[in-house]
Amino acid sequence: MRKIINSADTFVQDTMEGIIAAYGDKVKLLNDDFRVLLSNYPTQDGKVGIVTAGGSGHLPVFLGYVGKGLLDGCAVGEVFASPASEKMADMIRACDRGNGVLCLYGNYNGDIFNFRMACDEVEFDDIETRQVLVRDDVASSPKENADKRRGVAGMVYAFKVAGAAADRMMSLDEVAAVAEKALANIRTMGVALSPCIVPKVGKPTFTIADDEIEIGMGIHGEAGIEVRKMMTADEIAETLVETITKDMPLQSGDEVSVMVNGLGGTPMEEQLIVYRRVHQLLEDMGVSVVMPHIGEYATSMEMAGLSVTIFKLDAELKELLQAPAESPFYTNSNK
């Protein structure tokens, strides 16, 4: 294992301390707890709180979206491991401003179990919560079992839309409904060219030949749907767009936002080459792209590969997507 770290045991704490050292004017720790990050931006009293949680190793998810018009708090565990329910409960309490907290997170068993316990715990403090699960990975389960799908890069769009809704002082039920509506119109699929190494494990999470590509790989190294010989950028784009649009059909005149997300070890040039073909395919369908996102939004340590997310918009979702937002890792100044 060759990584620029101090030790596997201090990886998460050292990362959090680096974030605070760099962006301490924008985010802060909860009572010096390096497992819970809170927004340091001014917030209106009565605004619905929005929180998430999950394993470390995916920056900018989840920590990078704590800020204005996005998340109010984030709890993290060890690399690829859920944080404890007590940390989630502390975070929820810190983010409640009197009108409840939306817990918006990926469909992973550890996170589900711990968030449920946390929400039960804060009920004793008279804090109302709602839970919305992100299930955007079309490769992880067929459409008839969509409730079993994993949450991947599409959650960034959900954070953005829910954050904008909360900033408009919508109620807890309204913010949860907007998040659900967004997620019903978000689909993601990825490919992997190489594994990553979890610091405490010290060896690759899977193996793949130099001339192969795994289609549908999960962000923790979960198996995809097939392994193929290496493909061109255009072939990758065509495969991902075809699979996504079969699951979520698009029509001429539709508007979408597209995210090409690097998994940690893919150059921006390669992401842009894939986006070029995705844009062409959508244009040929008569579909317009609004606010494309190209870059690293949800990584898997140093895994080489990328994912494509398509977010189908209506007038409300488009307006919420374009609303201003600011965090150390994500800024949108569109009006």
**Active site annotation includes 293:** no
pLDDT of residue 334: 63
pLDDT of residue 130: 98
Alpha-carbon distance of 326 to 70, in angstroms, equals 8
Of the residues 130, 149, 160, 220, only one is catalytic, namely: 220
pLDDT of residue 79: 96
**pTM for the complete prediction?**
0.97
**Active site annotation includes 279:** no
Could you say which residues of the chain have pLDDT below 50?
Answer: none
Of the residues 47, 58, 87, 130, only one is catalytic, namely: 58
Q: For the residues of 40-90, what is the DSSP string, one character each?
A: -S---TTPPEEEEEEEES-TTTTGGGBSBTSBSEEEEEEETSPPPHHHHHH
pLDDT of residue 223: 82
